[in-house]
Structure 1
Amino acid sequence: MTIRPYVPEPLPPSGIDWETHIPRIASANRALARYDGILQAIPNPGLLLSPLLTQEAVLSSRIEGTQASLEDVLRFEANPKEPVGDASLADIREIINYREALNAAVDALKAGRLDTGLVCDLHRVLLAGSRGMDREPGCIRTIQNFIGRDAHIEHAIFVPPAPADLPGALADWEAYLHREEKDVLVQLSVLKAQFELIHPFCDGNGRVGRMLVPLIMYEKGLIGSPMFYISAYLERNRPVYYERLLAISGDGDWNGWIGFFLHAIEEQAGANGRKAKAILDLYDEMKRTVPEVTRSQYATAAIDALFKTPVFSSAEFYDQAAIPRRAAERVLQQLREHGIIAVLAEGGGRRAATYVFPRLIAITEGDRL
């Protein structure tokens, strides 16, 4: 039996039980406000939280089946010429694209607003030069796609809307995006789910849907910097994540999804806040320690380089920190002697050594701070 294509209902959904959601709406908004307070206290969030963005890209891509870790990505970026297997390289390319797409969208939001055109641009960057590059990057699909266990549509778990219904569904989605709603987090939860159910692209819909979370939060003024990392919760609760989305298309159960997503925001606001605070504390500690151990006029530049790229080659460190080579070699030696950085791979011949700033990696990857 073939499942009929899903027909999205106009937004907002008619069956939202606002009263039931009030406690969770309140706690999710409080948690997000606390997180935004921590964000506002960070002097340069784009620099200090850049490893968290890469980790978000790792986890969001892992939901779609990639296996590469944060360290794999950072090691590759430190030494792109090091040999990597084809499968690992494809994973790493997708993760780097994810980060670049989100950064490009953030830049675009400074001059314009979030709309379907910007979402298509984001999708184009996401799929560029990756496994999905033959899946019409940046183009709304013109074919019927489906989600299933095999290549037969009759075995599909979910069949998204027919191509002819996409323009209307996306226009309605965009209109709701720009509407006022009683609560923005409920609006966000509806927008995210509806986007993934519309499934407007041939590939990459889940990743784009997860990128929309910080972008919508930022555009709606919920956070002062577009840095919110939702994928750790969704990756950890993947079966329920998919179950709740399917319950919307199958049973019209928007309330189950909204409750799940509000809880995800509350949990991740707490986890993101703990990580951001731990990174800020580490940065403050390094501002005291590194000048002491290096006695170098370049201590601040060295610290910023460590936080921007916590896995790096010596050559990359010279470039990032913009320190004369001899002075940079001395700084690296002193950081190594005092256990601030560790060697991942010794240099040899023309190959530069690869170093790691282990405490920052531990904070970034730790889900239980």
Structure 2
Amino acid sequence: MSVHPYEPETLPLDRIDWVSHIPSIGEANRKIARYDGILRSVVNPRVLLAPIMTQEAVVSSRIEGTQASLEDVLHYEADPKEEISQTKRDDIQEILNYRKAMMTAVGLMGERPLCINTIRELHRTLLFSVRGQDKEPGEIRRIQNYIAPYGRSIEEATFVPPAPPMVWDALTNWENYLHSKEKDALVQVAILKAQFELIHPFRDGNGRIGRMLVPLTLFSKGVISTPMFYISAYLERHREVYYARLRAVSEDGDWDGWIAFFLRAICEQADENGRRALDIISLYNEMKQVVPEITHSQYSIQAIDAIFSHTIFSTSLFIRDSGIQRESGAKILRELEENDVIQLLQRGKGSKPNIYAFSRLIAITEGNRL
């Protein structure tokens, strides 16, 4: 295989077969508009959909090799002092960094448009104190990198990104295209995601940043009203095709094949994300009826919001999130456990608090229907 570095095409592309994509473009736009309608109906999406954001961080990181599950992450947040292996702790920290980077992006985009400098800040957050921290977080690479099986040389690479002198020009062109108008925004997002990953501007973490860019660019283009559209589950299920479509762009210039794949991903994930959001809304509305009947407490809504924010939690985490005084909070937890709204995972001993789970919400987050 040739080790000649990839030379990115200049955007916008002038040879997309737009006519062939018209049916998929129409379907994808309809489905994502329906999904955004669901998002707009959520009173507090950052509370209700917080578990889905964590699941996206889990799945996107798993594509890169982490092994920690959603339950591992949630249990760690509830009890950070629990004894676990260093490998699992490192995996969990990568996932938490991913989620923090997404939240950082949302804050930054309230102050300025999405741009390369914002992405560099996300990259610093992503690699803080985890695997890759020695690979210049936030810095555009100045060395030649490549993708190959572990321990293999560049001569055995499956992909060699652009040479360092080309990277900044390619990124500038990418950013200019990001801020331009295209015939269809979803096709533009498809091109932006693939081009970013092919430029491979960082020494590590390019795939995860590329997947973060999907909801961020959809939001920046006004396609969705809040940057909560998660695509990693589809990409993980179709990992071989995902990488094959990217390789076909770099090796054969087959942008149409990539665009068709991406639009299908948008369609399927819009349906899946929408179903989960509706299930969460339905569960939340159910809890608004059930919890006050069980607890007869003026703090019922605060309690509900707390268990939706952290679906595995300690007594102290619940008290912190809800703002309820400890005695009242402990009474509410006792009543919710007795009525099987929440489940006791681990009884506290000494200074260690009880650990609870809101199992029905975890099931929805992982894709299991009620």
- Specify the code of the residue in structure 2 equivalent to 1:83: E
Give the drift of 1:13. 2.1
> For residue 324 of structure 1, what is the aligned residue in structure 2?
325
Name the SS of the counterpart of 2:65 in structure 1.
Answer: coil
* Alpha-carbon distance between aligned partners in 2 of 1:127 and 1:51, rounded to the nearest angstrom: 22
Give the drift of 1:14. 2.5
Give the drift of 1:349. 1.1
Describe how 1:60-209 pairs up with structure 2 within 5 A. Answer: 60-149=60-149, 150-209=151-210
- Specify the code of the residue in structure 2 equivalent to 1:142: R
> For residue 50 of structure 2, what is the aligned residue in structure 1?
50
* Alpha-carbon distance between aligned partners in 2 of 1:367 and 1:181, rounded to the nearest angstrom: 37
- Specify the code of the residue in structure 1 equivalent to 2:352: R
Where structure 2 has 5 or more consecutive residues not aligned to the other structure, the ranges are none
Is the CA contact 1:24–1:262 (under 8 Å) kept in the aligned structure 2? yes
* Alpha-carbon distance between aligned partners in 2 of 1:101 and 1:68, rounded to the nearest angstrom: 18
- Specify the code of the residue in structure 2 equivalent to 1:331: I
> For residue 20 of structure 1, what is the aligned residue in structure 2?
20
- Specify the code of the residue in structure 1 equivalent to 2:97: N
Name the SS of the counterpart of 1:72 in structure 2.
Answer: helix
Give the drift of 1:368. 6.6
1:169-199 Cα distance to aligned partner (Å, 9 max, x none): 0011001101110000000000000000000
1:41-76 Cα distance to aligned partner (Å, 9 max, x none): 000001100000000000000000001011100100
Is the CA contact 2:319–2:329 (under 8 Å) kept in the aligned structure 1? yes
> For residue 212 of structure 1, what is the aligned residue in structure 2?
213
Question: Which region of structure 1 is more displaced relative to structure 2, 148-157 or 267-276?
Answer: 148-157
- Specify the code of the residue in structure 2 equivalent to 1:161: P
TM-score (norm 2): 0.98
* Alpha-carbon distance between aligned partners in 2 of 1:344 and 1:70, rounded to the nearest angstrom: 15
> For residue 297 of structure 2, what is the aligned residue in structure 1?
296
- Specify the code of the residue in structure 2 equivalent to 1:127: L
Is the CA contact 1:2–1:153 (under 8 Å) kept in the aligned structure 2? no
* Alpha-carbon distance between aligned partners in 1 of 2:148 and 2:368, rounded to the nearest angstrom: 31
TM-score (norm 1): 0.99
Where structure 1 has 5 or more consecutive residues not aligned to the other structure, the ranges are none
Is the CA contact 1:35–1:270 (under 8 Å) kept in the aligned structure 2? yes
Name the SS of the counterpart of 2:158 in structure 1.
Answer: strand
> For residue 11 of structure 1, what is the aligned residue in structure 2?
11
Give the drift of 1:161. 0.2
Is the CA contact 2:55–2:365 (under 8 Å) kept in the aligned structure 1? yes
> For residue 335 of structure 1, what is the aligned residue in structure 2?
336
1:9-59 Cα distance to aligned partner (Å, 9 max, x none): 101222210000000000000000000000000000011000000000000
Q: Residues 278 and 127 (structure 1 numbering): CA distance in 2 closer, same or farther, change over 3 Å? A: same
Is the CA contact 2:363–2:369 (under 8 Å) kept in the aligned structure 1? no
> For residue 279 of structure 2, what is the aligned residue in structure 1?
278
What count of residue pairs does the alignment treat as equivalent? 369
- Specify the code of the residue in structure 1 equivalent to 2:85: G
Name the SS of the counterpart of 1:158 in structure 2.
Answer: coil
- Between the aligned residues of both structures, percent identity stands at 57
Name the SS of the counterpart of 1:355 in structure 2.
Answer: strand
- Specify the code of the residue in structure 2 equivalent to 1:343: L
* Alpha-carbon distance between aligned partners in 2 of 1:66 and 1:289, rounded to the nearest angstrom: 38
Name the SS of the counterpart of 2:313 in structure 1.
Answer: strand
* Alpha-carbon distance between aligned partners in 2 of 1:368 and 1:114, rounded to the nearest angstrom: 35
Moved over 3 A (4+): none
> For residue 256 of structure 1, what is the aligned residue in structure 2?
257
* Alpha-carbon distance between aligned partners in 1 of 2:133 and 2:168, rounded to the nearest angstrom: 23
- Specify the code of the residue in structure 1 equivalent to 2:300: A
* Alpha-carbon distance between aligned partners in 2 of 1:322 and 1:71, rounded to the nearest angstrom: 24
* Alpha-carbon distance between aligned partners in 2 of 1:181 and 1:125, rounded to the nearest angstrom: 31
